[in-house]
Amino acid sequence: MFKAIVISSDRERAKYAVTYNPPQDDTVIVNEQNAQKIEEEFDWRAEAFTFPYSDRKPLLPCTLDMRTGSAFCHSHEADDCREFPELDDWGYLNVQLVVCLILNGEMDPIIWACAHPRVGLRSWHCDYNCIRGAHPDTTEWNMLYGKALHSYIGLNVAYCLPDTWEPKSRTSGGKDYRDTYFYQHLLRECTADDGSSDFILCMHRKFFGIDKDRFNMDNFMRADKAQWLKDRSKNYDGVFHPRSLWVDVSEMRWILSYAGKLPMELVLDIMESADYRPRRSLEVLHDPLHPTNRGALVKYLDHCWQIIVRCQMMARELGMNNLHWEDEVVG
């Protein structure tokens, strides 16, 4: 598989120019159209970007200073979390922009930015993430491909065990893959608030139907990650029962109109005011391998694979050669 990542990365890289002229500090690398798209799709006004101990407002992707060559030249500098707002706020915002570009498949500006002689993205590969109070094992763009890789491998392995997910097998008393430690560990690795930005976590949370605070952050501070299996967040029977990430629109409409006995006109007004929108990925919730969810599963796994390939591309452009994929799986 790891060979396939490198091969796919080389094939994808061949779609772009062989060489890029190094951009100047004032060269616009991210065009306004891409920046506007990112601003619309991702919540850049979230609390994650209101820096502690800082009274300045976070910059948005459409801001010119966020889109020029100099924006990609902020290396990680802070050795202490107290220094982070002053030394690393610009760099952190730039990494978030890069994450969004990768998620959207916009690799041209990233490759161009990597040609800048002072590009700082390499220093943000594995660094202490202070912005969210995380521990040293959680970082930024390495978490992007790390979570995608875990999910890609985990779901493919589970799919190779049809006795655990086929409806007929379940009704006959077979083991359900969702009740295995293997799957529950996968959920935790990909959806728990471990210090990764919401941009990285959102696609996984939405797909699996896991809300933001489902897992306890305390367990990530432990040296032995297997300790999460004893987490009090599980039910008394030792089986994890996830709650839905968002209330489905149709269910909310039913609750208000039938259970609440409200007229439909008022129901629609309430839902519009509350900004209820259909967001769930799976038709059959909390069961990604269910045959009905086949289309959504394929789409999600393809997105995970593309993220893996794009991160490998960026690593090569930064002179990092191949990322340590085996360590990601074993570690």
Q: Summarize pLDDT for 42-66 with one digit per residue, the tens.
A: 877 654 455 544 555 566 788 888 8
pLDDT at 77 over 90: no
Which pTM does this prediction carry? Answer: 0.78
Number of domains into which the chain is organized: 1
**Domain-located, residue 144:** no
pLDDT score of 135 = 40
pLDDT in tens, 115-154: 999 998 988 887 544 544 444 434 478 889 999 999 999 9
2-35: pLDDT as tens digits: 889 999 999 999 999 999 999 999 999 999 999 9
In a domain, 58, yes or no: yes
Lowest mean pLDDT of 79-83, 94-98, 236-240, 297-301, name the range.
236-240
Cβ within 8 Å of residue 166, ≥6 positions away: 291
Task: Judge whether 208 and 288 are in contact, CB under 8 Å.
Answer: yes
Domain containing residue 108: 11-131
The mean per-residue pLDDT over the stretch 246-251 comes to: 50
Candidates 89, 95, 94; CA nearest to 55 is: 89
Examine residue 274 and state whether it is found in any structural domain, yes or no: no
Q: Is residue 40 part of a domain?
A: yes
Alpha-carbon span 173 to 244, nearest angstrom:
25
**pLDDT at site 149:** 94
**CA 2 → CA 99, 125, 132, 236, 297, distances in Å?**
22, 19, 31, 39, 21
In terms of Cα–Cα distance, which of 91, 72, 89 is closest to 30?
72
Contact 235, 241 (CB under 8 A): yes
pLDDT digits (tens, 9 = 90+) for 202-235: 999 999 988 776 665 554 444 444 444 444 444 4
SS (H, E, C) the chain: CHHHHHHHHHHHHCCCCCCCCCCCCCCECCCHHHHHHHHHHCCCCCHHHCCCCCCCCCCCCCCHHHCEHHHHCCCCCCCCHHHHHHHCHHHHHHHHHHHHHHHCCCCHHHHHHHCCCCCCHHHHCCCCCCCCCCCCCCCCHHHHHHHHHHHHHHHHHHHCCHHHCCHHHHHCCCCCHHHCHHHHHHHHHHHCCCCCCHHHHHHHHHHHCCCCCCCCHHHHHCCCHHHHHHCCCCCCCCCCCCCCCCCCHHHHHHHHHHHCCCCHHHHHHHHHHCCCCCCCCCCCCCCCCCHHHHHHHHHHHHHHHHHHHHHHHHHHHCCCCCCCHHHHHHC
Residue 211, domain member (yes or no): no
What do you get for the CA distance between the two ends of the chain, in Å?
Answer: 17
Residue 85 within any structural domain of the chain: yes
Percent of the chain with pLDDT over 90: 36
CB 195 within 8 A of CB 129: yes
Q: Is residue 55 part of a domain?
A: yes
Q: Are 323 and 149 in contact (CB under 8 A)?
A: no
When comparing pLDDT for 209 and 265, which is higher?
209
User: In this structure, is residue 309 part of a structural domain?
Assistant: no
Where residue 80 falls among pLDDT bands split at 50, 70, 90?
low
* Cα–Cα distance, 47 to 82 (Å, whole number): 18
